[in-house]
Amino acid sequence: MAKAFRKNPPEPRLLTKEEACHYLGISVSSFELWMKKGIVPGSVADTKRWDKKAIDVHLDQLSGLPSEKQPPEIGNSGTPANDDDDSDWEDVEDEV
């Protein structure tokens, strides 16, 4: 009996350097420069593979976008907190 294969196998999570470059749309030399600058994370420990999710999370953080791994900090009003905005606070006199 023949083995059954999926028509559309899932995309691999771990990528070779060349696959990571293709995923990002950059050359290998640019990828190596981006790693040195901290724009993309290094490979998974003890491998020559890059985690696609780690790349996405790292780029999201650098871009200021909330990532799936780290949701934005929510203030009391139900909207993302802004440390420079005191509009959630109101002046109240202490009663003695």
- Domain segments of the chain as ranges: 14-63
pLDDT in the model for residue 90: 54
Residue 51 main-chain phi, psi, to 5 deg: -80, 120
Q: How many CB atoms lie within 10 A of CB 66?
A: 12
Model confidence pLDDT, tens digit, residues 19-58: 999 999 999 999 999 999 999 999 999 999 999 999 999 9
Q: Which residues pair with 74 in a beta bridge?
A: 80
Q: At what angle do helices 28-37 and 17-24 cross, to 10 degrees?
A: 90
Strand bridging mode 14-15 / 50-51: antiparallel
Exposed, middle or buried, 59 (CB in 10 Å: 0-12/13-18/19+)?
middle
